[in-house]
Structures are given as C-alpha cells and as structure tokens.
C-alpha cells in the first residue's frame, strides 16, 4: 500500500525525522489548510499555537476521530464507542472521568512501583542473555516491559498478551481496511468487558477493582470498559515504541549512548530529550473550531477540523536552539510529546518511570549493544515506532 494513499502528510517520516515539508510549513506559515486522506484539515505546527489549541477545549473541542468519521456510525454506536474514553470527551464530562483516575497515576504512586518495574526489566535482560544474540529488542524487551506493567496495574491476565497486542497494533494501523479495524475494536472492547464483569463480581486489588469498588455506582459498564480499553492500549502501545525507537536513536548516536551509560544520573534529561526528538504520537486527537476563530492570521470557520502536529512543535526553533539535534544533555524543554492541557497524558509518570528504569539498565547489561540489519519502522501506525529491531552485543 502506498504511503500517500492512507497517510496524511504530517504522519510521514524518514527514520526518526518528520518529512522536511513539515518544518517548511511550520517555519513559513504555522497553520495551513490541507487536503488529506482524513479529509480537509487545518494543520497546526508551531509550538506556541499547538499549546494554545490544546489548552482551550472550549474554543477547540473534540471532534469524531477519522475512524469514527469514515465508519459513519449511528449516534448510539458512537456513544458506546466513546463511553469512558477520556480522549473522546471535553470538560465537564472529561473532568469527571479524569478525577477518578488521576490519583492512581501520581508520581508518588509510581515511585512505589519502581522496585517491581526494576525487577521486570532485569528479568527481561536475563531472558535476552539466555536467548543470546541476535535478539529482537521489540519482542524481548521493549514490548514485554510496559505490557507486563500495565497488565499488573489494571488486572489484565498477561497470558492474554499476544491476542490483545496483535489487536491493538492492528487497530492503530492505517493500512488495514477500516471494517477490519472496527471489528477488532469491538473484539477488544468485548474482551475488556469480560474482565470488567469479572471485577464487578470479585473486585481485585488492581485498577479495575478500585474503579468498581470506589466508583462502581457512578460508572456504567460501558464506561468501565472504555476506561480499561484505553489504559490497556495506551499503556503498552506507546512506551514500547519509545523503548525500541529510543534505543535505536541512542545506538545511532553512539556518543549519546556512551554518555548515558557512563553517567546514568542523566537519564531524566535523556528520556525527556528522546520523547521530544522522537515524538512518537504524530498528533493530538482531532479538534474542531467551536466558532469562527483566528489562528496565526488565518480564519478557521466553525466546525472545521484542526490537528496539532506534535513532532513539528517539538522541533520548533522557537522552543529550543538546534532542534534537529538529539542532545541528551539539554535541560528539559517543556515539549509536547505527552500532549498539553486537559488531555495531557495521564500515564506520563508511569511511562517516564519505565523508561528511566529500562534505558540505563539495558546499556549497563550490554555495553556492546548494536543493531543487526535494518530495523522495521512502523510506517502506517497512529503511534510511530518499530515493529522489529534485531540487536547483538
């Protein structure tokens, strides 16, 4: 399948970098109306304007996603699809859902998980050693770590990982026909609703159990299912790609990998820089203009679709100098790789903690780590990353 048939211009990349036209657009105009496979979109590419759109849900509320739009769903199906999905709601509905979840993802809560995550990381490194080189870093390290963590946190059996991972990566893959992706989304929700039904009868000591115990009378079955589904997909599809692509980025910049291996205390800045430079989530969820509005000298008419391009904003020269360069010694830039505003990533403290545990441990265990052959980039996915990455040491 050709990239231009399914991928809008702002999702195309060459290895780590967004297409050069995106930088041109940002540096000349900042906001441009374009015809794309998702229909007509206003692409917002400058850091300041991206933050202003994302921080103003009254001016730029959520609109149906491209998959919902093209599937032409009935109002009832659409409501069911969106129930419990934080990304599909604006305040005050969004605030109601988010309030229930925020206490579970605080930095303090995440600190308590560090020993268990460290143990999971070491187990995966042992497994890689046992297998011996060459090993696919995606299947042996980058994917199992966040999958196991989110399974334990949520109360999802890890033994089901192959099925749910296969489903969620296909749901996010734009080269797969729409009706197949919709059917997979149904299957995935059905799977989660079985787990929710079980938790309602016997709430465990996990997040689904907590939601049932503490908020069971405020949340419908559909909402509980939607929350569980979003957390399961977001919890492993994102961090795994950051771990794989982040490792490749470090290995292709050996001086940066060496520095991090020698000075692991740099890991917090290194993780922020990798998040910024790689910006694996191509864009924020689609918004619309609530009324006719001005943005960067352009009039956006009420109802028109607006998309914030996170990789372009994160390489905006107005944000930092030398934005094209990966430099793990930079101080934090205030990047938008986790989004911004009310929908800022709920799982950011968890993702950061996992990456801070994983990168230095990997470099420490395998000082001679190197890529073998060419990695397979995830060209068609809504979340960028690697499908396969063979390494040796």
Considering only residues 221 to 250 of the shown chain, the ones binding ligand HEM according to CB under 6 A are 230-231, 234-235, 238-239, 242
- Whichever of 18 and 284 has its CB closer to ligand HEM, that residue is 284
Assigned token pair, 116: 């268990």
Per-residue binding letters, 64-103, with ligand HEM (x by CB under 6 A): ----------------------xx----------x-----
215 forms part of the interface with ligand HEM (CB under 6 A) = no
Q: Between 59 and 370, whose beta carbon lies closer to ligand HEM?
A: 59
If the CB atoms of residues 23 and 154 are measured against ligand HEM, the closer one turns out to be 154
Q: Closest approach of Cβ 91 to ligand HEM, in Å?
A: 10
User: Least CB distance from residue 242 to ligand HEM, whole Å?
Assistant: 4
Burial class (CB in 10 A: 0-12, 13-18, 19+), 225: buried
**296 contacts 323 by C-beta, under 8 angstroms:** no
Burial of 98 (0-12, 13-18, 19+ CB in 10 A): middle
> In the set 280, 300, 309, 382, which binds ligand HEM (CB under 6 A)?
280
Choices 68-76, 217-225, 250-258, 335-343 (CB under 6 A): range interacting with ligand HEM: 335-343
Please report whether residue 343 would count as binding ligand HEM according to CB under 6 A: yes
Between 23 and 50, CB nearer to ligand HEM:
50
Supply the minimum distance, in Å, between the C-beta of residue 100 and ligand HEM: 11
Question: What does the alpha-carbon distance between residue 203 and residue 225 come to, in Å, rounded to a whole number?
Answer: 14
Size of the site for ligand HEM (CB under 6 A): 24
| Residues forming a β-bridge with 136 | 390
The owner of tokens 């109360």 is 155
In contact, 146 and 235? CB cutoff 8 Å = yes
Helices (H), 65-106: 66-71, 75-82, 93-101
Q: Measured from the CB atom, is 102 or 194 closer to ligand HEM? A: 102
Query: Number of helices and strands (H, E) in the chain?
Result: 18, 13
Q: How far apart are CA 21 and CA 11, in angstroms?
A: 11
Q: Collect all residues with Cβ–Cβ distance below 8 Å to 36 and sequence separation of at least 6.
A: 8, 9, 10
| Cα–Cα distance, 157 to 291 (Å, whole number) | 46
Beta bridge partners of 300: 293
Contact 346/106 with Cβ under 8 angstroms?
A: no
> Which CB sits closer to ligand HEM, 30 or 339?
339
Q: Is the CB of 330 or the CB of 367 nearer to ligand HEM? A: 330
Question: Nearer to ligand HEM by C-beta: 36 or 134?
Answer: 36
3-state secondary structure of 83: coil
288 beta partners: 305
- Residue 156 contacts ligand HEM per CB under 6 A: no
- Give the interface segment with ligand HEM, choosing from 125-133, 167-175, 295-303, 339-347 (CB under 6 A): 339-347
Binding mask 354-393 for ligand HEM (x = CB under 6 A): ----------------------------------------
d(CA 258, CA 237): 27
**Where along the sequence are the contacts to ligand HEM (CB under 6 A)?**
86-87, 98, 150, 230-231, 234-235, 238-239, 242, 280-281, 284-285, 337-339, 343, 345-347, 350-351
């Amino acid at each position: 399948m050709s990239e231009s048939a399914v991928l809008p211009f702002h999702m195309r990349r060459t290895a780590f970098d967004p297409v050069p036209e995106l930088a041109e657009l940002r540096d000349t105009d900042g906001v441009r109306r374009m015809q794309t496979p998702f229909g007509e979109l206003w692409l917002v590419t400058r850091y300041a304007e991206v933050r202003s759109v994302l921080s103003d849900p009254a001016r730029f509320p959520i609109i149906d996603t491209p998959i919902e739009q093209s599937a032409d769903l009935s109002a009832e199906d659409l409501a069911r699809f969106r129930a419990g999905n934080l990304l599909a709601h604006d305040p005050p509905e969004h605030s109601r859902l988010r309030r229930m979840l925020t206490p579970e993802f605080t930095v303090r809560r995440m600190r308590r998980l560090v020993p268990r995550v460290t143990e999971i990381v070491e187990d995966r490194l042992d497994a890689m050693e046992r297998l011996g080189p060459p090993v696919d870093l995606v299947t042996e390290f980058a994917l199992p770590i966040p999958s196991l963590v989110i399974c334990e946190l949520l109360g999802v059996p890890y033994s089901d990982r192959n099925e749910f991972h296969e489903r969620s990566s296909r749901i996010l893959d734009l080269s797969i026909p729409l009706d197949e992706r919709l059917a997979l989304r149904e299957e995935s929700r059905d799977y989660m609703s079985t787990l929710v039904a079980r938790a309602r009868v016997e709430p465990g000591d996990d997040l689904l159990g907590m939601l049932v115990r503490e908020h069971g009378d405020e949340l419908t079955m559909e909402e509980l299912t939607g929350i569980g589904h979003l957390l399961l997909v977001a919890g492993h599809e994102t961090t795994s790609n950051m771990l794989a692509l982040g490792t490749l980025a470090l290995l292709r910049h050996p001086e940066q990998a060496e520095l991090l291996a020698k000075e692991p205390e740099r890991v917090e800045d290194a993780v922020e820089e990798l998040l910024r430079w790689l910006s694996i989530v191509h864009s924020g969820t689609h918004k619309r203009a609530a009324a006719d509005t001005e943005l960067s000298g352009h009039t956006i008419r009420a109802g028109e679709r607006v998309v914030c391009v996170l990789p372009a904003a994160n390489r905006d020269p107005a944000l930092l100098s030398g934005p094209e360069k990966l430099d793990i010694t930079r101080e934090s830039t205030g990047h938008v790789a986790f989004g911004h505003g009310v929908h800022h990533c709920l799982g950011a403290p968890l993702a950061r903690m996992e990456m801070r545990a994983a990168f230095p441990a990997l470099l420490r265990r395998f000082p001679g780590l190197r890529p073998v052959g060419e990695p397979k980039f995830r060209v068609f996915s809504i979340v960028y990353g690697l499908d396969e990455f063979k390494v040796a040491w």
